[in-house]
Structure 1
C-alpha cells in the first residue's frame, strides 16, 4: 500500500490533476485559439509523487517566456524548486534554472529543450522528432531520487531513439532503444517495443502490448532499483478522444507480468488519466495527468508509485 504523503502537496497536486481532467470541457469553452505572431507568456507546472517505500517528491516550476506561439514554438526560462523526502535519510531541497526552448527545423522536424543546472551539473531534457511523432532522438539528465542519490549525489544520463513501423492503417509497431549512464560504473541498456492495434478508430479505442527490457552492467551498485536484467510485458487498453474544441482526453490501464534477475515473475500494473489543451492553440498550453505504476527506478517488486502533474501556460 502507498502510505500518506509527508507533504500535503502530493495529495493537492493529485486532486488538481483530477479536477483538471474532469473540468477540461468547461475550460475549453472559455479559451480562444486564434492568437497569431510572437508574444510573451507565463506559466506554472507542478508535479508530486509518492511511493510505497516512503519517498515523496514535489516540484514547482515557473515559466517566463518572451516568445510563445504554441506548444511547438516558444523561448524563455524556467525556474524550478524541488522538495525531496527519501524513504531513508533527511529531506532536501534543490533549485534548478533552465533555458526553455522549442521550434521547428523545417516542415517535417520539431525540436524542444529544457536544459539548465542545479548549480552542480547540467540537467534537463531535449528531443528532436518528426512532426507526425513517428521518429525521435532524445536525451535527459536528472538526479536519482533516493537517499544515496541525493547525498552522493548520483545522476543519470539517458540517450535514446525511437521509430514507428507502420503495418497498416490499424496496426503499428514502435521501438525505442537507449543507453542510461549512472554516476559510478553502472550503464543500463534499454530496449522497448509497443504494438498498437486500433479497435475502433471513431472511438479512439486501441489495444496495446508494451514490452520493456533492460540490462545493468553493474547491478545493485547503489540504493536505486537496478537488477542485472529486467523484463516487463504489459497489455494495455487505451481510449483517446478529442472534443469539438480540440482538447484531448486519454484513459489507459493494463495488467501484465515482470521479471527481475533472481526475483522471479510478479505482476505488472499501469493506469493513466490525461487531458491536454489543443495542439493548435496559440493562446494556452495546459495539461494534467495522474499516473500509477509498480515500476520505477527507486523501487522493485511489490512496489507502488503514483505521480500527479499539472501545468498551465498563458499568452499575454
Structure 2
C-alpha cells in the first residue's frame, strides 16, 4: 500500500492498514446485483503552513465484474492555495481493479494525465499482490505525481516512486511487513526508502490491532534550493493501536499512533497520527465511505509538519 503526506494516494500507501481492513470487510458483503457504478468523490486538506488542497471528481465504471473487478474512468479537479496564491489543475485517468480475494484487492492501476500551471504530467498509481506461499505474499507498487508545494507546483516538479514489500505471517496473530522503495524526482533528487511494520492482533474476532512502524529514507544532498523539504536523512519510529467495529452493515475504524522522528543530525522530535474511517452498508445499491485524519510528521512541508484531511466517496450502483 501507501507515501507522500500531501495527496490522497501516498497517504493510503503509507498509513492505510487499519482503514483498508475495514473497507475490505465491507466489500465482501456486496451482492453482485449491479452491472455498473458511478459516484462523486471529495478530498480536502490543510496544514500548518496554510497550504490548502481540494479535490472533487467523479468515478464511472461501466461494467462491474465478479468479485468487484472493474474498469472505468476517473476525473479530478484539483485546487491548491496558500496565502493569496492559488492554482487549479485537471486530471483524467483510466482506472482498473482486479477481483477481491478474501477481501484483499489483487491488483489496481490508475493511469492518466494531469495538467496544472502550464505543466502536464503522465500520472500513475498502481499495486500488484503476488501470493508466494501460505501466509507469505509480495506487493509491488508505483506512484507518479506532482510534488504538492507552492514552489514545486510552479516549477512542475514531479516524482516517480517504485518499490515492493514482503508480507509474512509467522503466526495467525502476527504479521510482518518489510518495504523497499526508490523515489526519483524531476529535479535530479533521489530518495531511497526502507520501512518495516509489525502488526499484532490479540483476538482475531475483536478487531483490535497493535503496531510498530519504522521508516527511513536518505536523499540526494540539498546542493541547491529545492521547492520542498529535503533532509539528507530521515527516520521515524511509531507505536500504534487500531480498532474496527462492524454493526448492522456499518464498519467503523480508528487508528492512533505516537512516536519520534529524527532529521539528519538534529535532536529527535515527536510524530503523531490519528485516523478515522466509516463505511455505510450497501443500501439501495449505494455506499458512502468517509475518512478523516491528523498527521504530525516530517514531509515536503518541513520538519514539524502538521496535516489534516477529510475524504468522502459515494458509490451508486446501477
Normalization by structure 2: what TM-score? Answer: 0.80
Residue 34 of structure 1: CA displacement?
Answer: 2.7
Distance 1:98 1:70, change over 3 A: farther
- The change in CA–CA distance for 1:311 and 1:133 in structure 2 (over 3 A counts) is farther
Name the counterpart of 1:102: 97
2:218 aligned with 1:215: yes
1:44 to 40, 43, 65: 40
1:92 counterpart residue number: 87
How far apart are the structure 2 equivalents of 1:41 and 1:190?
37
Q: Per-residue CA shift, 1:88-117, capped at 9, x if unaligned?
A: x72100001111111249999822111110
Conserved? CA contact 2:121–2:145, under 8 Å: no
SS at match of 1:150: helix
For CA contacts below 8 A with separation 6 or more, give which structure has more relative contact order.
1
Cα distance in 1 for residues equivalent to 2:205 and 2:169: 19
Name the Cα RMSD after superposition: 3.0
Q: 1:34 aligns with which of 31, 36, 53?
A: 31
Alpha-carbon separation, structure 2, partners of 1:71 and 1:85: 40
- Correspondence list, 1:92-131, <5 A: 92-104=87-99, 110-119=106-115, 120-130=120-130
Query: Which whole-Å deviations, capped at 9, do the CAs of 1:116-153 have from their partners, x for residues lacking one?
Result: 10241211311112489943111111111111211111
The answer to whether the 8 A contact 2:136-2:168 is kept is: no
Confirm or deny: 8 A CA contact 1:70 1:282 kept in the other structure. no
Q: Deviations over 1:140-178 (max 9, x none)?
A: 111111112111111011111122121212112111111
Matched, 1:192 2:195: yes
Q: 2: distance between equivalents of 1:206 and 1:178?
A: 25
SS of the equivalent of 2:273 reads: strand
Cα distance in 2 for partners of 1:281, 1:221 equals 52
Q: Could you tell me how far apart the structure 1 residues matched to 2:122 and 2:36 are?
A: 26
CA distance in 1, matches of 2:229, 2:241: 27
Size of the aligned set, in residue pairs, is 284
In structure 1, what is the Cα distance between the partners aligned to 2:210 and 2:105? 28
2:9 counterpart residue number: none
With the length of structure 1 as denominator, give the TM-score of the two structures.
0.81
1:242 match? 246
Unaligned runs of 5+ in 2: 1-18
Q: Is the 8 A contact 1:33 1:281 kept in 2?
A: no
